[in-house]
Amino acid sequence: MKNTLEKLTQAGIVPVVTIDKASDAVKLARAVVAGGLNCIEITFRTEAAEEAISLITKEFPDMIVGAGTILNTNQVDRAVKAGAVFIVSPGINPETVKYSLSKNVLPIPGVSTASEIETAISLGLDAVKFFPAELNGGIKAVKTLSAPYPDVKFMPSGGVGIKNLKDYMLFKKVFACGGSWMVDNSLITEQNFSKITELTKQAVDMVTSIRSGSNDRDGNNCTVPARPSDPKPFENTKQRVVTFGEIMLRLVPEGYYRFVQADRFDVSYGGGEANVAVSLASFGIDAAFVTKLPKNDIGQAAVNCLKRFGVDTSLITRGGERVGIYFLEKGASQRASKVIYDRAGSAIQKASASDFDWDNIFYSAGWFHFTGITPALGDGCAAIALEACKAARSRGLTISCDLNFRKNLWTREKADTVMSELCKYVDLCIANEEDAKDVFGIESEHTDLNSGSLNHDGYIKVAQELTRRFPFGKVAITLRGSISASDNQWGAMLYEDGKAYFSQTYNVHIVDRVGGGDSFGAGLIYAILNKMEPQDAIELAVAASCLKHSIEGDFNLVSLDEVKSLAGGNTSGRIKR
């Protein structure tokens, strides 16, 4: 059955034939094969169907022949006896599906609703027919229905023709399309088999062109695809934001205990891009997080944690062996915080490009965000991130990246190589006071991070160099003056159109600083999406991240009203009654 599905996928088109005379079957099959197809579906709508299947399979033993419009187990028996290797039905009948499986033939039942898809999944199927395709909303409906079911593939049929074939075939969850336009019954009646060959070849050529074009679009070279002329960067009106990365199990000793003292750990979840999604969701933005998590209780707990705060988790791929872990020992006073990673072999680190359908993921999205942590997980993750950037660029999404250099994950040399390629696609670059130096060797003059002395003019030059080297429309740099592990000065700069905007600086007493940069990025994305002026945007982003330092855990669990109040000057922290 798996082999049959693979061959149908390879073909891309399944000619759906209603044949009146069995004597026409072999001539019809020969015309289809001459057109470049090696599969066919004969519908059980006429008395000639059973004999037609038998004649075709005997004359063309390597041809993939299926039976369509199968309504009951008796028809399954007859079709299989005649030589059919796949069974297509207009609807989903559990009895027919189970019986087909028992006969070791591939059932492809028709579905048009989420409940029918779930019935198919419960029966062990991962390939279904979407029928009637055009009457049920066409490719838009397929994309909408497919979103919650990442492992299900579709064969649209009903209203599919040469004019809309491309729309369906560009969607990676469509494994093939069923259609009768190239084998119309009138052509068979007229014995016009040369026309059938011509139309079949036309359809095959189109599928081949689409698929090769998809490969070019995904790209195996370094050429950066041109952005569509509309929308321009930061002008996409779609408010949906997609973030992509790793969410980890976070384990922290109680209070300020050191690892060697701890006999228990507080459990929560977090990760750069997940933190951004949670912040955006709390601000009322439609935010989706994309990753790969194992199908076990720990993976589900991570999903549930995101759902709790309003993040769309429907695009998360499930599979792999484990969830990554990070251990955090909170610093205090002059003792620095410490992080230990245990993320080798995590589901996302071992993910492959085929785990993510970016056409579907970016459907209806206007913004894509990732960080430098994700490509640092390994070459595979770097390649997936690059594919995502190319897909986002081709669809006109605004792309933001937080450089987020982590020396425990990769070297500066590796980071420079990988991030230089990814940054070709980025519109908004976010960094802290060290990232540009660590990743690209671009350093602020007259700055001493150890003493907390930050030179504003030096960071303007850093932003200028970044925009000279890469096509960034905006550069944002957080500026942390570290007085101690417990107390920091916190501000930021936004650079755009040749001008720098500096926020006010907050004196922050730290409860938990992890996620501070992510909350800043989320605040800035929100501000840009809502067309705030640059000075207002950087003030809101810094206020959001300032408040995050007072929140336990990775997530910035504050309201938009609280952020706006702080950005507006209410810094007293007086109790609200």
Among 355, 415, 353, 364, residue whose Cα is nearest residue 390: 353
Centre a 10 Å sphere on the Cβ of residue 480 and count the other Cβ atoms it contains. Answer: 21
Asked whether 541 and 567 are in contact (CB, 8 A), the reply is no
**H-helix or E-strand containing 435?**
helix 435-440
Among 466, 504, 512, residue whose Cα is nearest residue 486: 512
Q: How far is CA 551 from CA 132, 310, 521, in A?
A: 51, 18, 16
Residue type, 370: F
Distance, in Å, from the CA atom of 528 to the CA atom of 196, rounded to the nearest integer, reads: 54
Distance, in Å, from the CA atom of 559 to the CA atom of 526, rounded to the nearest integer, reads: 13
Q: How far is CA 66 from CA 11, 122, 125, in A?
A: 14, 23, 17
Distance, in Å, from the CA atom of 15 to the CA atom of 42, rounded to the nearest integer, reads: 8
Q: What angle do CA 508, 509, 515 make, to 5 degrees?
A: 75
Cα-to-chain-centroid distance, residue 308: 20
DSSP state of 227: P
Distance, in Å, from the CA atom of 411 to the CA atom of 429, rounded to the nearest integer, reads: 20
Asked whether 15 and 32 are in contact (CB, 8 A), the reply is yes
Options 41, 50, 246, 539, the catalytic residue: 41
Distance, in Å, from the CA atom of 206 to the CA atom of 282, rounded to the nearest integer, reads: 45
DSSP state of 89: -
Distance, in Å, from the CA atom of 52 to the CA atom of 24, rounded to the nearest integer, reads: 8
Q: Which residues pair with 338 in a beta bridge?
A: 329
Q: Which residues pair with 495 in a beta bridge?
A: 475, 500
Options 7, 50, 129, 390, the catalytic residue: 129
Q: How far is CA 318 from CA 154, 234, 359, 453, 472, in A?
A: 19, 32, 18, 46, 34
Distance, in Å, from the CA atom of 174 to the CA atom of 537, rounded to the nearest integer, reads: 41
- CA diameter of the chain: 90
Buried b (16+ CB within 10 A) or exposed e, 522-533: bbbbbbbbeebe
Q: Length of the chain, please?
A: 577
- The verdict on whether 129 is a catalytic residue reads yes
Asked whether 70 and 233 are in contact (CB, 8 A), the reply is no
Asked whether 247 and 291 are in contact (CB, 8 A), the reply is yes
The residues, any chain, with a CB within 8 Å of residue 475's CB and separated by 6 or more, are 428, 429, 430, 431, 463, 466, 467, 494, 495, 496
DSSP secondary structure letters along 325-379: EEEEE--BTTBPPEEEEE-TT-TTTT--GGG--HHHHTTT--EEEEETHHHHT-H
Q: Which residues are catalytic?
A: 41, 129
